[in-house]
């Protein structure tokens, strides 16, 4: 589903800009580490993804984020402006991948008040998207460090590169936290790129009776003096954009039969049953996709059905997010993302069709299973689109930063997969799907990796196929 049909009128997030004074204008590339003779240098301000040059950081690999957040939603009833108050302590375990005399984390629109590295207060500075830290002693390649950042500020409604709300989106009853592709920096200091996956734990304190819903398993909650702290644990490696800490008036519904994946749904108390009744199919869908993609990769699953009207759905890891209501097709789409996108994540944002094409194709297969429409019929609908439409005008494996969630990425991506299945046969195709998840699960992969594995498993020469479908604009001939 292109799950973002609605462009919300601009509530401009004013990014807080603190000019760096501590840091000189040094090279953006980290000095290579060479054990024994450290040559210290700065970590780069981005991982080198051309779509988002400042996303992620060089020279660090984050192992774990422990996020201790205190959040006060806007005061009811319906205040203007829509502003919340966020105060956080992020405890970040990382490993240096270069000899560092300074390194960055991404942080946008919030102000850091202290940075502690390995127990010692450190000098730091902020620019628009970057928190710049100068560790002393300097960090050698391979060295572990614990970085504690105390930060906070006023939350509003951050906008992504296309002008859609994302990140820590302040709502009247809490926050809708949906950060794809690089919006996590709006709520915690982060190495904000899928190539650095990490485990997470959360302690989120909100005014009772609000509920904070994050990834993974609920560890517990406690209310003291009218404030409830919600503890969640997400032990599976996760890309930062898939983290959530959504706050609202939710009812938690847990289904945890022995030996099966626990399903924890969070349903906004204003929702009527017809808005979430389709979630009853989640367990059947889990079995359906396990048969095709292999065992479900995470400790838990579940949905958040919020009361906002932006029309979003996001595959937040282990806990997919739905605006307003959850349709059957979208439930299948976000669940399939747990394997395709979350367990195997894009190596560059340009590879996003590997997420959305697979998720869209997964819904096609689910629709066929349910006798709603055959895969062949859904494929035909896309193939019948005129060659002049965006589906065919776009280079699938390079849609551009503003084309990441356009029709080509979803529908041409799904059509590529079906055309590939027709080309190599069902047996090789489903062997490919499982092997893809097996081989790249827990990490990232690119379009080139997918093309190579397709050839390897099928034994077909697919160079012309991928050139036409993924690397060239225009409608491929069948």
For Zn ion (CB under 5 A), the number of binding residues is: 2
| Residues 359-378, mask of contacts with Zn ion (x by CB under 5 A) | x-------------------
E-assigned strands of 192-269? 198-207, 211-214, 217-224, 227-238, 245-248, 250-255, 263-268
CA-based nearest residue to 110, from 74, 144, 142, 70: 70
Tell me which residues in 378-407 interact with ligand TRP (CB under 6 A).
405
Shortest distance, position 167 Cβ to ligand TRP, whole Å: 9
Closest distance to ligand TRP from the beta carbon of 269 (Å): 22
230 binds ligand TRP (CB under 6 A): no
Q: Which stretch binds ligand TRP (CB under 6 A): 18-26, 101-109, 214-222, 307-315?
A: 307-315
User: Whole-number minimum distance, CB 190 to ligand TRP, in Å?
Assistant: 16
Integer Cα distance of 90 and 103 in angstroms: 16
Tell me if 330 sits within 8 A of 307, measured CB to CB.
no
Which one of Zn ion, ligand TRP, none interacts with residue 312, CB within 5 to 8 A by kind? Answer: ligand TRP
- Closest distance to Zn ion from the beta carbon of 335 (Å): 11
Nearer to ligand TRP, 351 or 356 (CB): 356
Q: Decide whether 99 or 160 has the Cβ nearer to Zn ion.
A: 160
Interactions with Zn ion, residue window 327-356 (CB under 5 A)? 356
Q: Binding mask 274-293 vs ligand TRP (x if CB under 6 A, - otherwise)?
A: --------------------
Q: How far apart are CA 159 and CA 137, in angstroms?
A: 37
Q: Which is nearer to Zn ion, 186 or 330 (CB)?
A: 330
Residue 411 binds ligand TRP, judged by CB under 6 A: no
Closer to ligand TRP by Cβ: residue 134 or 336: 336
Candidates 236, 306, 334, 411; binder of ligand TRP (CB under 6 A) is 334
Per-residue burial over 373-412, b if 16 or more Cβ lie within 10 Å, else e, is: eebeebbeebbebeeeeebbbbbbbbbebebbbbbbbbbb
116-175 residues near ligand TRP, rule: CB under 6 A: 166
Residue 409 Cβ vs Zn ion, minimum distance, rounded to whole Å = 9
- For ligand TRP, which is the closer residue by CB, 60 or 344? 344
Cα–Cα dist 139/136, whole Å: 8
Which residues, including other chains, have CB under 8 Å from residue 229's CB and lie 6 or more apart? 203, 204, 205, 221, 222, 223
Site for Zn ion in 74-133 (CB under 5 A): none
366 binds, among Zn ion, ligand TRP, none (CB under 5 to 8 A by kind): none
Instruction: Count CB atoms within 10 A of the CB of residue 118.
Output: 15
Show contacts of 394-399: CB within 8 Å, 24+ apart: 394/473, 395/470, 395/471, 395/472, 395/473, 396/353, 396/357, 396/469, 396/470, 396/471, 397/350, 397/351, 397/353, 397/447, 397/470, 397/471, 398/350, 398/471, 399/350, 399/352, 399/353
CA angle 255, 257, 261 (to 5 degrees): 75
Contact between 313 and ligand TRP by CB under 6 A: the answer reads yes
**Is 315 a binder of ligand TRP (CB under 6 A)?**
yes
Which three-class secondary structure state does DSSP give residue 27? coil
Which residues contribute to the site for Zn ion (CB under 5 A)? 356, 359
Q: Which residues of this protein are in contact with ligand TRP, per CB under 6 A?
A: 3-4, 166, 178, 180, 312-315, 333-334, 356, 405
């Amino acid at each position: 589903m292109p799950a973002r049909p609605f462009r919300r009128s601009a509530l401009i997030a004013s990014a807080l800009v603190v000019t760096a004074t501590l840091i000189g204008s040094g090279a953006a590339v980290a000095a290579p580490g060479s054990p024994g003779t450290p040559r210290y240098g700065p970590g780069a301000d981005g991982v080198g993804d051309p779509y988002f040059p400042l996303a992620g950081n060089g020279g660090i690999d984050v192992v774990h984020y422990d996020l201790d957040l205190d959040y006060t939603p806007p005061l009811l009833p319906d205040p203007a402006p829509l502003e919340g108050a966020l105060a956080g302590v992020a405890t970040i375990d990382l490993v240096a991948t270069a000899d560092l005399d300074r390194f960055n984390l991404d942080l946008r629109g919030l102000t850091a008040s202290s940075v502690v590295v390995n127990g010692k207060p450190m000098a730091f500075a902020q620019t628009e998207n970057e928190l710049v830290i100068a560790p002393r002693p300097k960090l050698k390649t391979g060295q572990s460090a614990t970085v504690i950042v105390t930060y906070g500020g006023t939350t509003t409604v951050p906008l992504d590169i296309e002008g859609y709300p994302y990140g820590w989106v302040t709502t009247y009853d809490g926050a809708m936290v949906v950060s794809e592709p690089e919006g996590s920096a709006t709520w915690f200091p982060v190495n904000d790129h899928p190539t650095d996956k990490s485990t997470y734990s959360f302690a989120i304190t909100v005014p009772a009776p609000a509920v904070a819903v994050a990834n993974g398993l609920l560890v517990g909650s406690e209310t003291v003096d009218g404030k409830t702290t919600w503890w969640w644990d997400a032990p599976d490696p996760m890309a930062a954009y898939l983290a959530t800490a959504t706050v609202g008036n939710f009812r938690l519904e847990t289904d945890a039969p022995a030996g099966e994946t626990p399903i924890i749904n969070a349903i906004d108390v204003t929702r009527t049953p017809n808005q979430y009744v389709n979630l009853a199919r989640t367990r059947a869908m889990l079995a359906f996709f396990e048969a095709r993609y292999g065992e479900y990769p995470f400790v838990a699953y579940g949905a958040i059905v919020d009361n906002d009207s932006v029309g979003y759905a996001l595959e937040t890891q282990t806990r997919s997010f739905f605006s307003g209501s959850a349709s059957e097709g979208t439930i299948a789409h976000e669940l399939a993302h747990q394997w395709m996108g979350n367990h195997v994540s894009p190596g560059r944002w340009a590879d996003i069709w590997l997420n959305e094409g697979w998720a869209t194709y997964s819904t096609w297969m689910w629709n066929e299973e349910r006798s709603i429409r055959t895969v062949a019929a859904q494929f035909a609908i896309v193939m019948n689109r005129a060659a002049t439409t965006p589906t065919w005008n776009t280079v699938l494996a390079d849609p551009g930063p503003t084309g990441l969630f356009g029709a080509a990425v979803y529908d041409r991506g799904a059509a590529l997969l079906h055309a590939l299945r027709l080309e190599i046969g069902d047996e090789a195709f489903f062997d490919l799907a499982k092997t893809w998840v097996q081989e790249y699960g827990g990490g990232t992969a690119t379009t080139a990796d997918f093309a190579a594995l397709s050839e390897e498993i099928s034994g077909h020469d697919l160079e012309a196929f991928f050139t036409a479908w993924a690397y060239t604009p225009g409608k491929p001939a069948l």
